[in-house]
Amino acid sequence: MFVDEAEIILKGGHGGAGIVSFGKRMGSGPDGGNGGRGGNVYLLTDADLTLLNQFTAKYLFEADDGHRGGKNRKTGKDGEHLEIRVPIGTSVIDKKSRETLFEMKKIGQRELICVGGKGGRGNYEFRNPRRTTPEFAQPGLSGERRTVVLVLKLIADFGLIGLPNAGKSSLLNELTNARVKVAAYVFTTLYPSLGVFKDKVIADIPGLIEGASFGRGLGVSFLKHIEKVGILLHCISSESKNPAKDYETVAKEMKSYNKKLAKKSEVILITKSDLTDAKALSAIKRKLKKYAPKIIAVSIHDWDSIEELKNLISDKT
């Protein structure tokens, strides 16, 4: 199951208590130390787009509390900070105010969301000429507490499209380590799969068939996902008996569903290029060159072709 929204409670650690203590020697006075600070809670952006799944089993996350102060004016140890990983593309919304606190757009982005409580002061801090033996200390303060809604508003930079078994899932796995299920039958991919390569989100849009725009197969739901994609990587298998027809089938369904889809920037990928020879690849490129200015032959078994594709993805904005 792919989770794209979650509600969780976050809490900074409680500050440690200050203590009441006096030196062992007569007249040595108060020496109770201060409590340590409670730990903070941070959100950290990660490339793993399934991270919201972790919140289906647990909803309360608390940083460590600060430790009590010690004798001889020793300050208690601060509580450990808590880092919670969330997927790139996550909007962090305060449930009470509905304010968007953060947009987690970059891998490695780290945001402080709950501050830990201050440690209480020990009785040493309360001494003065008129009160030489204070017999009280402060408890620590509570850490900040927030209830937040995490929404994965992911718009893919690139979308892998094409007929079923065009090699889209294998390419996504090779580019992003997405671990998409791959098999040689129609509709292996039933939902869009997502991966990240150098902060660029790539979506494997499930295979389209003729009639998809009218609801055949799983078509309409698939076409909706293409609307959210920036640049299309149109996959045509080198094993195809009619590459031009394969291209036109998908292009026709997109245009029938929404004419704006036909205007999206597009690169054609001739996939599984290791299964044919150079002469055949050249013939396929000639047949397809009228559809797109950029055509790349690519295979997950050809390191150079994968590097060329990675460079293209890196250069595109």
Beta-carbon count within 10 A of 215 CB: 11
3-state SS, residue 161: strand
3-state SS, residue 77: coil
Binding residues: 162-169, 187-191, 204-207, 271-274, 299-301
| Distance, CA of 253 to CA of 213 (rounded, Å) | 5
Q: Which pTM value belongs to this model?
A: 0.67
Beta-carbon count within 10 A of 52 CB: 20
Binding residues for Mg(2+): 169, 189
| Distance, CA of 23 to CA of 8 (rounded, Å) | 46
| Distance, CA of 236 to CA of 215 (rounded, Å) | 22
Each residue's pLDDT, cut to its tens digit, for the chain (317 residues) gives 455 789 999 999 999 999 999 988 877 899 999 999 999 999 999 888 788 889 988 999 999 999 999 999 999 999 999 999 998 889 999 999 999 999 998 889 999 999 999 999 999 999 998 999 999 999 999 999 999 999 887 667 888 888 888 888 888 888 887 654 443 333 334 456 778 888 788 887 765 544 433 344 333 444 555 666 788 899 999 999 999 999 998 888 777 777 777 788 899 999 999 999 999 999 999 999 999 999 999 999 999 999 999 999 888 75
3-state SS, residue 233: strand
The DSSP output letter for 58 is -
| Distance, CA of 111 to CA of 95 (rounded, Å) | 17
Q: Is the dihedral of CA 194, 112, 150, 317 positive or negative?
A: negative
Q: Mind listing the domains of the chain with CATH numbers? A: 5-152 (2.70.210.12), 158-315 (3.40.50.300)
Binding residues for GTP: 162-169, 187-191, 204-207, 271-274, 299-301
- Kindly compute the dihedral angle of the four CA atoms of residues 273, 276, 280, 284, in this order, to the nearest 10 degrees: -40
Beta-carbon count within 10 A of 309 CB: 20
3-state SS, residue 166: coil
